Structure 1
Amino acid sequence: MDQFFSTQGTASAFVPPMWVYVSAIIVMALEMVFCLKYHDKAWLKKFFWLFQLIQLVILYGFYMVQRISISISLPLYHCRAAMFSLMFMKDSKLKKMFAVIGIFGGLLAIFIPIMDKYAWPHVTLVSFYWGHFALFGNSLLYLLETKKKLSLKEIIGINLLIDVFLALVNELTNGNYGFLRETPLIAGWSFLARLVCVTLFFCLVTYGIQKLTDYLQTRVSV
């Protein structure tokens, strides 16, 4: 239990063994099947909502007790913001934006996990999988029912506002929210170039996933 809540980090980030990687993919696939088949069931929505709530309480309880720096503990990473939005926001275009981000973030976390520098098992590592499974479920269930539609102009505008806000927070906290301080693959580019690239990337992701989930919505409604 001491290791589970330890603040003692490791030299490098945890690398999931192959069995964990494969198991996570299988769980995500089964989760998708369940959501598509039982998307209109109240018990499934309550399950994912509670599943997410427990994960967030444990994770942020750890952050608060251990007084973890706000450069990593604020709920401003795209996926964490999506978790809170899916749980507490009313039906809106902004909530749909975060739900779309939740689909992408959930899949990306499983296929390309970026883990914290702790030894397994640790609360942040367990929370990583737990949280993204719950996020994916909450996001997919919401997208299969909402009637909100995001225009291309709205997609660009909302993503740009989010990224500019995160860039300002990074300056205040020295964090890397939105990967805007240390951007994978293009870390050496200027800030403005990275901001544009990150924003365009999320715009393309948002547009593509919205099209896909809109199609799935018509299929499950047949």
Structure 2
Amino acid sequence: MKSFKYFFRGNIEHNNFIMFGRMHLFILFLMAIISIFILIRKIENRKIELFIGVILILQQIILYSWYFISDTDLFKEALPLYHCRVAIICIGLGLILNQKYIMKLGSYLGIFGSIAALLFPGLDPFVFPHVTQFSYFIGHLFLLWGSIYLLFVKNIGMTIVDFKNTIIFINVFHIMMAILNKYLGSNYAYISSSPINIGKSLNQIIYTVLVMMIFNLVLFLEYIFINKNIALQKKNKFGDVSLKIKIIE
């Protein structure tokens, strides 16, 4: 019981996680090896989809349960308004409910956000072990694997309409977060300051515009890469069919 209470403690301490230390390198190795496995196997399976979806939603439920029982400022810290939280909820619900549109939005935001978050973790100030640390890494790992599965196994794709809608969504979202952060003193979507102390010397408006430009660029590159990948797979598929027909002839 004491161990359970310690795991879910709420008193602020300090973060003792060592970036690129042994534990971090193990997590990155796990991230890479399972990502490669998903890309190589390319098996579409409804049970896998439900498993990933349930894990992501459970991760959010446990995290928000802790927020409610701890002394966390819910409005300043706990609203689901970070990129990865939006992506986790979209992919989780999308996979469980089999809703392609929110799967797309979640995976477009999730693949870039999860990689950045795993490479440069922004953990809450607690000494290991703590619920927020497990939640952080489980959430971002499954977000990455879910995004890879959707984009490169399920091939949900990104049409020009999807691209336009996602660009509109992310820019409106960033503008709203800039306004909300100003009134709450928060840093949702990291639109007010960088989680890895880059750009601290920049003017606030310049920093915000820069973040928005980076996300627009990333989404554009995803659009190009994803469509090239799908086109290549279709070409290979039709090539295999043509080869089989020739053999039969």
TM-score normalised over the length of structure 2 = 0.79
- Summarize the Cα distance change of 1:20–1:213 in structure 2 as closer, same or farther, 3 Å threshold: farther
Moved more, 119-128 or 12-21: 12-21
1:58 is aligned to 62
Aligned length: 221
Identity %: 23
- Summarize the Cα distance change of 1:216–1:147 in structure 2 as closer, same or farther, 3 Å threshold: closer
Aligned 1:127-138 pairs, distance under 5 A: 127-138=135-146
- In 1, Cα distance between equivalents of 2:232 and 2:140: 25
- In 2, Cα distance between equivalents of 1:168 and 1:143: 32
- In 1, Cα distance between equivalents of 2:17 and 2:156: 37
SS of 1:81's partner is helix
1:214 is aligned to 227
2:242 is aligned to none
Whether 1:9 and 2:12 are equivalent positions in the alignment is yes
Maintained 8 Å contact 2:15/2:127? no
- Summarize the Cα distance change of 1:18–1:218 in structure 2 as closer, same or farther, 3 Å threshold: farther
Whether 1:24 and 2:27 are equivalent positions in the alignment is yes
Unmatched tracts of structure 1, length 5 or more: none
> Whose Rg is larger?
2
2:46 is aligned to 42
2:132 is aligned to 124
- In 2, Cα distance between equivalents of 1:150 and 1:72: 35
Query: 1:102-141 CA deviation, whole Å, 9 max, x = no partner?
Result: 1112111222212111000101111111000111122222
1:71 to 67, 76, 92: 76
What is the CA distance between 1:47 and its match in structure 2? 1.6
- In 2, Cα distance between equivalents of 1:215 and 1:207: 12
- In 2, Cα distance between equivalents of 1:102 and 1:16: 21
Q: CA RMSD in A?
A: 2.3
- In 2, Cα distance between equivalents of 1:97 and 1:140: 13
- In 1, Cα distance between equivalents of 2:88 and 2:139: 8
- Summarize the Cα distance change of 1:159–1:60 in structure 2 as closer, same or farther, 3 Å threshold: same
Unmatched tracts of structure 2, length 5 or more: 238-249
- Summarize the Cα distance change of 1:216–1:41 in structure 2 as closer, same or farther, 3 Å threshold: farther
What is the CA distance between 1:215 and its match in structure 2? 3.7
- In 2, Cα distance between equivalents of 1:100 and 1:207: 10
1:180 to 191, 196, 208: 191
- Summarize the Cα distance change of 1:18–1:148 in structure 2 as closer, same or farther, 3 Å threshold: same
